Chain A
């Protein structure tokens, strides 16, 4: 699980936000190595710069100091072809669910070039993906006709339809009720086990982090720094039952302790 060189390499990265006269140090001297095909989770107290980290990795923000490389190439400006999913599903209400899922294919090469001539094959591909998350019957429905959980499933499909090497997940399940959330953990895990993309999950749900990730990074409060890296050596596929096992509980507890110590210090 831990072989291979670093795919995403974050090296001594700091970021200062300038708002008029005020300067905020969002993250400081942050270093992380993430291997190809690894699923990592980043947890931490709110306002610790988790989302900033996400924007840094995808090149939407440029670091004030330090460097980030993806697949050996330095990140300068928005990285192309990365999959992204947010808490808000951001599906386009004027498109059907299927057309929403196919949106990245209209933008990312080489799909963009081929989409017109091989539309049928791409539609089949999108439909196959929708069926793995149980949305076959909702392909032609508008997103607002779907429940919150279904919207988030479609959102995940949209994020990985173009087979990105890197998937960024910014609290994608935070707005869902507990039962739907746990259901989607299984969906997410199944998708990852099939496609084996590199995934970075930002979350404040420790059980979610331990369920999904190979490694969990705990960040300190602002300015954000990694204060603990915890390997989750629980075999996959993990199930809901796994989350009730003592070992699972002990990892969650260990993470919880660290977050607590960060919050009070």
Chain B
């Protein structure tokens, strides 16, 4: 049993390393040019070589992503509560939100550049608008799916709408909120990197764009790997928060750690 558990814990690492080994093997066997698909070892070498630049740009990306994500969480949770708690807000805003969410966010970036200039602000805003929609939908769903019997119990005790919201609605919406955070954080990276690629002179997106324009393909891949690593780390942080805050929703199961 302990062997099985250890293997279970090791699985993410084994699969990741396996993928890199496969990638390396394919490159060596096919002899593909490094400026089309560089070997992982070359990508790693390049990462070490450009470590200071990568660190600088990834910190910038981490900053814009986190800032946009935090805004998305606050705005998304508030809007989700409003939509979930009021049929009027729901009917009025939901179609607008769906329409807004259908707009490709990359198309927004030029508009943001006109308003705010290139740099940090468009990246934060893009991360914000792309990450907040799943949060709104999830929080609203959590509130809207309160068991009618439970609502009846509270109403017949004389609970106000606000009391029903704070005693049942919000705690009940928490697992939905935290589940959406895991989606939202990865989307926030998509948003910030897109914005940096289109309109910035800082951040991983910018680094990859400038690297590709000088045919430094290994550096482009290094940027991709760094974004992926940051995404996984932030996802893990969100998942950890989820476990801490809403352990009751998992009923003590070992899944999802």
- Which residues does A use to contact B, with CB under 8 Å? 55, 58-60, 78-84, 86, 88, 90, 92-94, 103-104, 106-109, 142, 144, 159, 162, 168
Contact = CB atoms under 8 A, between A and B. Distances in A.
A92 B168 contact: yes
A90 B149 contact: yes
A90 B150 contact: yes
B248 A142 contact: yes
Contacts of B172: 92, 94
Contacts of B155: 60, 78
B246 interface: yes
Contacts of A80: 156-158
Nearest to A88: B149
Contact of B152 (A55, A81, A103): A55
Given A93-B248, A106-B167, A86 B158 contact: no
A107 B156 contact: no
Contacts of A109: 158
Nearest to B245: A94
Contacts of A107: 154, 157-159, 163, 167
Contact of A93 (B159, B163, B167, B249): B249
Most chain A CB inside 10 Å of its own CB: which residue of B172, B248, B249: B248
Interface of B: 147, 149-150, 152-159, 163, 167-168, 171-172, 174, 246, 248-249, 251
Given A86-B149, A94-B246, A144 B156 contact: no
Contact of B157 (A82, A93, A94): A82
A151 to B, nearest CB: 13
A92 B146 CA distance: 11
Nearest to A143: B248
Contacts of A84: 152-153, 156-157
A159 B150 CA distance: 12
B152 A108 contact: no
B53 to A, nearest CB: 46
B156 A108 contact: no
B36 to A, nearest CB: 53
B156 A162 contact: no
A104 B168 CA distance: 12
A103 B156 contact: no
B171 A94 contact: yes
A58 B159 contact: no
B171 A78 contact: no
Contact of B171 (A92, A104, A144): A92
A55 B159 CA distance: 16
A104 B155 CA distance: 11
A236 to B, nearest CB: 27
A175 to B, nearest CB: 12
Contact of B156 (A78, A90, A93, A106): A78
Nearest to A106: B167
Contact of A78 (B150, B158, B163, B167): B158
14 contacts: A60-B156, A78-B156, A80-B156, A82-B156, A82-B157, A84-B157, A86-B152, A86-B153, A90-B150, A92-B172, A93-B249, A108-B157, A108-B158, A162-B157
Contacts of A81: 156-158
A137 B227 CA distance: 50
Most chain A CB inside 10 Å of its own CB: which residue of B158, B159, B172, B246: B158
Contact of A58 (B156, B163, B174): B156
A179 B7 CA distance: 44
Nearest to A77: B155
A109 B160 CA distance: 12
Nearest to B150: A90
Nearest to A103: B167
Q: Give the 3 A-B residue pairs with the shortest CB-CB distance, closest first.
A: A80-B158, A82-B156, A90-B150
A70 to B, nearest CB: 11
A30 to B, nearest CB: 20
Contacts of A60: 152, 155-156
Contacts of A82: 156-157
Contacts of A159: 153
Given A84-B152, A84-B153, A94 B158 contact: no
Most chain A CB inside 10 Å of its own CB: which residue of B150, B157, B163, B246: B157
A103 to B, nearest CB: 7
A88 B153 CA distance: 12
A84 B159 CA distance: 13
A108 B154 CA distance: 10
A142 B249 CA distance: 11
B251 A144 contact: yes
A109 B147 CA distance: 24
A217 to B, nearest CB: 21
Contacts of A92: 150, 168, 171-172
A86 B152 CA distance: 10
